[in-house]
Amino acid sequence: MNDGKFFQAKVISNAYSLELQNAIKEACLFCMESISVDGEHSAQPLMLLGKIQSGKTRAFTGLMALAFDNKFDMVIILTKNSSALVKQTYKRMRQEFKQEISGNEVEVFDIMKVLDQGLTEYELDKKLVLVAKKQHKNLDRISKFITNYTLNLKKNCLIIDDEADTTGIGFCKIKDTEDEFDLRKVASKVNDLRGTLNGCAFVQVTATPYALYLQPDFDPAIIKPIKPIKTVLIPSGIGYIGGDYYFIESQKEDHPARLIFQPVSEDENELVSNQKRKNKKSKIMIDEHSK
């Protein structure tokens, strides 16, 4: 593995701990093993698992950089179906790779805009980062972009499914069958995208992995595996405050977290619940009156 300039820039600018560096390298090694010299790819996903607000985006940014140092030329980031989140992710990637963008080594695009402007061969020779939400029009445009520029033949691709437990998965039972299932629309589009690319590694990022671990085994010739074959834990880092701090450490008499956690009595909880029900009824009455 080449611990090169892209990754070293992230280590320095983001002050990655040694533990986080090792986790990123473990993930990148799996991604490198997922693609062979002739471009054939492994469909098995990797999961990056981290606690809520523990720095998962920071971690997969490091994975992107290390992937750029090792055979990969393009990264597709799939976000939740939210325009605000797409904008946030796009701005974050522009900031994270600001130095490389200025040095004409990397380009970052919102997929809903890039096809409108067209790309030159000079731009296509750079490392590419495409940001898209998990919505069928966005995913169709990614496929069109790859086809128009024949990128499936030119670039090894890393697909990062951010918040992978939402939107990107889901299947339904096929009518009039006993045990046959088919993917829902968005999940089907993601599956098609994975099948389009040669030299493709698929990484799922989440804090709530349960739906992914419980995915059934599909016929790999038809549907690419959704259940991750390997999990890499993202370290939370020093000073992280999460569920353990509020609900476990707070039970210790000598721990400062005991001053934060305040249990809600059943009477108070019932009072809030009743108020919510009253507000809901009031809203229904207003809506009916307005008709």
Per the CB < 8 A criterion, the answer to whether 108 and 129 are in contact is yes
Does one domain contain both 131 and 268?
no
Does one domain contain both 152 and 291?
no
Does one domain contain both 269 and 197?
no
Does one domain contain both 278 and 138?
no
Query: How many Cβ atoms are within 10 Å of 156's Cβ, its own excluded?
Result: 22
Does one domain contain both 181 and 272?
no
197 in a structural domain: yes
Q: pLDDT tens, 252-264?
A: 888 887 787 677 8
Question: Does residue 37 surpass a pLDDT of 60?
Answer: no
Q: Between β-strands 200-206 and 181-183, what pairing exists: parallel, antiparallel or unpaired?
A: unpaired
Does one domain contain both 75 and 129?
yes
Does one domain contain both 214 and 276?
no
Q: Between β-strands 171-173 and 181-183, what pairing exists: parallel, antiparallel or unpaired?
A: antiparallel
73 in a structural domain: yes
pLDDT bracket for residue 186 (50, 70, 90): confident
Does one domain contain both 126 and 184?
yes
* CATH code: domain of residue 22: 3.40.50.300
CA distances from 179 to 32, 184, 188, 218 (A): 35, 16, 18, 11
110 in a structural domain: yes
Query: Which of 90, 132, 89 minimizes the C-alpha distance to 111?
Result: 132
| pLDDT (average), residues 111-119 | 79
Q: pLDDT tens, 204-259?
A: 999 999 989 988 777 777 788 888 999 999 999 777 888 887 778 888 888 887 78
Task: Give the percent of the chain with pLDDT over 90.
Answer: 43
User: Could you list the residue range(s) of the whole structural domain that residue 63 is in?
Assistant: 5-243
Does one domain contain both 100 and 161?
yes
Does one domain contain both 139 and 275?
no
Query: How many Cβ atoms are within 10 Å of 16's Cβ, its own excluded?
Result: 21
Per the CB < 8 A criterion, the answer to whether 46 and 33 are in contact is no
Per the CB < 8 A criterion, the answer to whether 199 and 155 are in contact is yes
Does one domain contain both 181 and 268?
no
pLDDT bracket for residue 285 (50, 70, 90): very low
Number of independent structural domains in the chain:
2
Residue indicated by tokens 């349960």: 210
Task: Give the percent of the chain with pLDDT over 70.
Answer: 85
Cα separation of 87 and 17, whole Å? 28
What is the DSSP track for 153-210? HH--EEEEEETTTSSS--EEEPTT-SS-EEE-HHHHHHHHHHHH-SSEEEEEEES--H
Tokens of 279: 């507000």
Tokens of 47: 């999961």
